[in-house]
Amino acid sequence: MRCRVDNGAHPVFSSVALGSSPTLNLVYWEGPAITVTGGNVKPLAHFESLLASGKDPLKPHWDILDNAMAENAVRIWHNCLTPALFEKILANKCACAEAGYGKGRLLLCSPHPEMGNFGSGPWAESLNFLLIYNGLYYLAGRQTVLL
């Protein structure tokens, strides 16, 4: 799934989504489309395009490298998302959002960055790992991310 980042300057996306029109490629596995209804909820990213359908696990071939959880999920469970279903239920919908909760914050992410990298190097060096790290650092009250 390709997700378009609404605010590339947001600390969660530091060094993850780069360029004048930042995007992220993330695994989607039956997550919800987030509907932003409250004033304290801010969309952070939207579903832009389906890169590969989970309907046929052999196309395209993903090299999951060192992530056994992702390898088992791809082997055992089909993700039934097709291009037609993507257009009907996810296209341009909110994929990631931030909300205030009391004195804290919540980060909501429909795709699964924890599913790891697909053919881009070791998990701990991947952009997905950095996205999770940035999110945890941000939720811990830090405003900048140390790289």
Instruction: Answer whether 117's CB lies under 8 Å from 67's CB.
Output: yes
The predicted pLDDT at position 26 comes to 83
CA atoms within 13 A on the CB side of 107: 21
Instruction: Answer whether 50's CB lies under 8 Å from 3's CB.
Output: no
Per-residue model confidence as pLDDT tens digits over 11-36: 898 888 776 778 888 888 777 888 88
Per-domain boundaries in the chain: 2-139
Instruction: Work out the number of other CB atoms within 10 angstroms of the CB of residue 1.
Output: 23
Q: What is the pTM of this model?
A: 0.79
Stretches in the chain below the pLDDT threshold 70: 19, 53-79, 116-126, 142-147
Q: In sequence order, which residues have a C-beta less than 8 Å from that of residue 123 and are 6 or more positions away?
A: 65, 66, 67, 116, 117, 129
